[in-house]
Structures are given as C-alpha cells and as structure tokens.
Structure 1
Amino acid sequence: MNIVIIGQGAIGLLWYHHLAKSPKNTVSLLCSSRTTFIPSHYGFTDINQQSHELSLMVADNAAFIDAELILICVKSYQVNVAIEALKNKISPHVIIVFCHNGMGAYQNLASLQQPCLTLLTTHGCKINSPFHAQHTGLGHCDLGSIHGEISPLMRANITSTLKQALPTLTFTNDIKTKQWLKLAINCVINPLTAVENIDNGQLLNEKFNPIITELISEIITVAAYENVKFDFNELQEKIMQVAKKTAKNCSSMRSDILQQRKTEIDYINGYIVTLAKKSGILVPKNEMLVQQVKALQVS
C-alpha cells in the first residue's frame, strides 16, 4: 500500500517505523514546514530497548498523487493547516486517517471528498531527540469511520495493513464512544499531571480523588448531551487503570509544558467547555484546568 504519514512526532515516527517494515508498503514522511533540517536516517528505540537507525523516505508531490492512505499524525491545533495544505495534492479516492488527541480539531469534514477515518491508540511513544522516537509502552488501536463511504474491501485492506504493522488493532462501528472514552481519560490525566507536574501514577494519591470525581461527573453530563452514555464507576475505574498502567509516564500535556510548547488543552478539556456552553451546562472544574494549563503554556 502507498502510504504518506504527516508529522515527525512520536506517533508519526511510530507508525512510519512499523509500516515501513513491510515490503508490501511504500511509506514516506512529510515533515513540518518549520523543520530546518531533515536527515537521511531516523532513529527508533523499540519496546525491547533496542535502538535502530534506518533510512527515511521524505514525501514529495508524487508520493501524494500515488497515496492510497494518508495518516495525519500532528497536534490537534495543526490539523486544519495540514488538511488545507493537502486538498490540492491528493486524489479524491485516497483515505485520510486522523491520529491526534482530543476532539473538534477539524470541523469541516463535509468539505472533503475523501473518506476519513480516525485512529485511536494507547501505545506509548516519546521523542528522545529530533527524528528519534522511543516506543515506551504496548497498547491497542481502534479504527473507525468518521466521514464518507469506504468500500468493505478497502476497509479490510487498511485494517489489515495497520494491524500487521502495530498489533493489536480493531475496526469498530462505534468509534464515537471510543473517542469519548479516550477524551475522558485525557481530560483527567493530561491537565492534572501538567498542572501538578507529576507522573501519571501519582494521580492514584487519594488527595486527587475529589477533583477527579468532579471532572468525571462534568464529562458524563456533557457526553450525555452528545448521546454518549457512561457509567460513573466504570469510567472512574478505567481512568485509574490507565493512570496505574502508565504510572511512570509523563503525559503529553505535561511534556508540552516542560518543553515550552503549546498544548492541546483546547481540544481536550476545552472541547468539554465548548460543548457545555452550547448546552447551558456548568463545568467549573474543566474550565479551571483550561485556565491553569493556558497560564503555564507558551502562547
């Protein structure tokens, strides 16, 4: 399969590395326009702590013309720019896959001719240095359609290609609930670890129970207006399981703050706040965290 990956961050390099392993795939990478130097090789440290240096194929216009699958692996606030830059380069038949945190990053899907999917992952990955990623934790991926029609054959082909590259992966017809579950987890773990400057596992301390309880209650209320139903105890258990499983991890939002980068808060807790305002719901704890994270991040 001809595949173009957009974004040389942790998730972009994770997918590039695993998809490029297969001789059945032709994979190229489009880097950020702000990148001043693109090396001929990239570094990758696998889950077994083994480091590799491998050839990097950079995407050109021909790669976009021939692409059957495009994975957009950029920050939520970069998605609109990435899509607008793509529109005149790609075939109407190419499949676009969004691989970013949060929700509400691209609201103009109806203007796209191309079918669109979203890919959610719980795999852990981080950037050790520019163009060197490290796979820090095994996880699961959920793939689902969010716009347009995709043939059963193409859907099966894409699912198989991605699943072979990075197990485990499931195609689901209920991707909206999966998106909301990931959003809820991110709404608790990301901002609290960023504001408190702590590893994920430290949220298991009982002193955080009151604010976690209030955040979950607010999220469940807003989700219900979007026809997504959560059980409080089940959602709380899931969030705490993730915190425990990733106990030593530094969340992406905390990492952004520490490295003086813009965060994705507008598409995580900020998304909850936006929906709440439309529905006349009060979400004071989510609003508070949005303000606290924005006070810490670079403008």
Structure 2
Amino acid sequence: MNNTPWLVIGAGAIGLFWACKLQTLGHSVHLVYRSESPGKKITLDSLIDENGQQQSTSTKHKVKSFMASELTEQYDKVLLCTKSFDLKDAFLQVSEHVTDDATIACLCNGVGAQEELQSVLLDTQALWAAITSEGVLKIDKNHIKHTGLGDTYFGRWLQTDSNREFPIDHLTVTNIHQRVIEKLAVNAVINPITAIFNIHNGDILDENFKPLIEATLAELESVFTHPKFSYIEQSKHLTRANLKNRVNTIAQLTRLNRSSMYEDIKLQRQTENEFISGFLLKNSPIELPIQRLLYEGVAFSDQREETKKKLLSIT
C-alpha cells in the first residue's frame, strides 16, 4: 500500500497543501481538481519552519493532476480535502477508481458530512476523519502560502475490530469524534463572527466583541454539557472556561488569518454554515438564539447589517 499513490481530491488551499505535504513525506500523489487545473507544479510558500520559527521559504512540487473523468488507475489511499457540502459527491465521482479495501480519509469542517460519506462506503473500506489547525492561504490556482503551523489528526470514524493502520505515521488518535466536536465548538464562534463582520480571526478578541463572545460561549456550554446532546460523551468537558481558552488560543495563533467562512462570503461561494451552526441548531436539545443569529447572518446577505446590530446589542 505504501508504494501506491495517494489520490487527493480537492485543489483548494488544504488539498494543495496536503498534496505537497504527502510528497515531502515520500508518498506519490495524484490530485483531482474540479474546475481549474493547478498544472504540473505547485508553489508552496512558507513563513515558518517545522519548529514554528519565522523562516520564509518557497518550494516547488511536481504533482500529477486530473479531472475525475480522466482517472484510469485504482487507488487504495484517498484523501478528500473538499468543503463539507461537497464531500459525498466528490467521493462518488471517483468511487469506481477506489479499491474495495481502500483507506479513505476526509479533512473538512463541521459535523455531519462524515456520516454522509460513511453511508456510501463499502463495509470493507475504512473511513478516517481528520481535523487540522494548519493555516494555509491559496494565492493562485497552483500557489499556496503556509501562514500558520498547526496539528493534523486522523482517527477511525467507526470503531471496529479492524487493526488496519493508517498509511501515515504519528498522526492518528483514538478520540477523533471528541476532537471533531472541539473544532466544531471553535468554528462555531470564530467562523460566523469573522464572516459576518468581515474581520480577521484575532479581531474577535477586541473589546467591542467581548459581550458577544462571552454570550456565545455561555450558549455553547449549555448545549455541549446538556445530557440530551447526541455527542455528550465527547463534549461534556466543554465548559465555558474550556471553550474560552480554546477560542482565545486559536484566535491569537491565527490572528492575522481570515477564516474559511470569511473567504467564502468574500468570494460569494457556498459556505459550510449548514455543518457548523446548522448542525448545532438541528441537533441541540435546547434553543440556541445566538447560533440562530449567526447562522442567519451567514446565510442571508440581505439581512446581514440588521443581524450585526442584533449581535452587537447582546449583553
């Protein structure tokens, strides 16, 4: 399996970054793009080295890229780096080129898309979900910038008796559901607020946003610690203090970055709103008025200015 190429699906910032990363780790990579070919070479600019030190470098990575309709090989390792709403359909477009015993991994925001993908896999195919805190910005169709050093973790989505190991060493965890929920919690604060107010991640720590952040954290605590929340075993530790520490840390570490939801709204693209605030609204056993406002502020551009006023009036 280690000698066969990875099939990386998605030529956004994260897909291009992982195509380069896998190649650096010694793996062969085939990249699937949907609308715009990245060409044969990807440029990766990095502002930091592997130890987190400031060091500007630029590397070129020669990667074979295809549209899904151009694939001819069979792949036993697949990494999906698409938006949550595209995850299942992106896999179905390449599924005839995926072996029956393939390792399939997905890197996407929110919760819900993983279950949708699992529903179309064979019992013999193993799904690994992943989260990442790497900061990556897409400059051009074949040019990305690594703006923040982070961690990536993969874990089996379904707990089975299989002893199959993940094809990349030192990146696996046993509690991936907990980590997915923890990232959802941070995304449910940073993503919609930065997108609605058109601000960088670090700006949410400004004094004028303090009442909104505090109220949002209190509301999230009420759902994540509620005994009837469907993920309570993975989320019960997410108290307001825990959540505040996580949000503040990520906002500080990525203070100059723009969230993916901010970028999507700026470029008039579909957001992952349904898998972040939308997931919470659908699955919460209690009412979540602030998440409702955040959801609507992202979903309805014509209501955004009014939603801003309502959010800033929260005390």
TM bin, normalised by shorter chain, reads: 0.7 to 0.9
Q: Evaluate the alpha carbon distance shift between residue 22 and residue 238 of structure 1 in structure 2; reply closer, same or farther with a 3 A threshold.
A: closer
Residue number among 6, 10, 13 corresponding to 1:7 in the alignment: 10
CA-to-aligned-CA distance 1:98-136 (integer Å, 9 cap, x gap)? 101111124332441111011111110010111211111
In 2, the alpha carbon distance for the partners of 1:242 and 1:56 equals 31
Q: Offset at 1:293?
A: 0.9
Residue number among 130, 150, 168 corresponding to 1:139 in the alignment: 150
Aligned pairs for 1:1-299 (under 5 A) are 1=2, 2-23=5-26, 25-32=27-34, 34-35=35-36, 37-46=37-46, 47=48, 48-59=55-66, 60-63=70-73, 65=74, 67-108=75-116, 109-113=118-122, 114-147=125-158, 149=160, 151-152=162-163, 154-155=164-165, 157-160=166-169, 163=170, 169=171, 171-223=172-224, 224=226, 225=229, 226-227=231-232, 228-229=235-236, 230-276=238-284, 279=285, 281-296=286-301
Q: Evaluate the alpha carbon distance shift between residue 266 and residue 131 of structure 1 in structure 2; reply closer, same or farther with a 3 A threshold.
A: same
Out of 214-223 and 78-87, give the one that drifted further. 214-223
Alpha carbons 1:197, 1:254 under 8 Å: kept: yes
Alpha carbons 2:38, 2:141 under 8 Å: kept: no
CA-to-aligned-CA distance 1:60-108 (integer Å, 9 cap, x gap)? 5344x1x221100001111121122233221111111010111112433
In 1, the alpha carbon distance for the partners of 2:189 and 2:94 equals 33
Paired amino acid for 2:208: K
Q: Offset at 1:195?
A: 0.9
Alpha carbons 1:123, 1:138 under 8 Å: kept: yes
* Residue in 1 that maps onto 2:52: none
Paired amino acid for 2:148: G
Q: Evaluate the alpha carbon distance shift between residue 50 and residue 102 of structure 1 in structure 2; reply closer, same or farther with a 3 A threshold.
A: same
Q: Evaluate the alpha carbon distance shift between residue 239 and residue 273 of structure 1 in structure 2; reply closer, same or farther with a 3 A threshold.
A: same
Alpha carbons 2:29, 2:63 under 8 Å: kept: no
Paired amino acid for 1:132: H
Out of 281-290 and 201-210, give the one that drifted further. 201-210
CA-to-aligned-CA distance 1:147-179 (integer Å, 9 cap, x gap)? 364743x42x5241xx5xxxxx3x221111111
* Residue in 2 that maps onto 1:166: none
Q: Evaluate the alpha carbon distance shift between residue 150 and residue 21 of structure 1 in structure 2; reply closer, same or farther with a 3 A threshold.
A: farther
Paired amino acid for 1:29: L
Q: Offset at 1:6?
A: 0.2
- Structure 1: gaps (5+ residues): 164-168
Q: Evaluate the alpha carbon distance shift between residue 38 and residue 206 of structure 1 in structure 2; reply closer, same or farther with a 3 A threshold.
A: closer
Q: Secondary structure at the match of 2:282?
A: helix
In 1, the alpha carbon distance for the partners of 2:120 and 2:261 equals 30
Query: Quick one: percent identity of the two aligned structures?
Result: 28
Q: Offset at 1:203?
A: 1.0
In 2, the alpha carbon distance for the partners of 1:117 and 1:39 equals 28
Q: Evaluate the alpha carbon distance shift between residue 192 and residue 248 of structure 1 in structure 2; reply closer, same or farther with a 3 A threshold.
A: same
In 2, the alpha carbon distance for the partners of 1:123 and 1:38 equals 21
**TM score, norm. by length of structure 2:** 0.83
Q: Offset at 1:274?
A: 1.2
- Structure 2: gaps (5+ residues): 49-54, 303-315
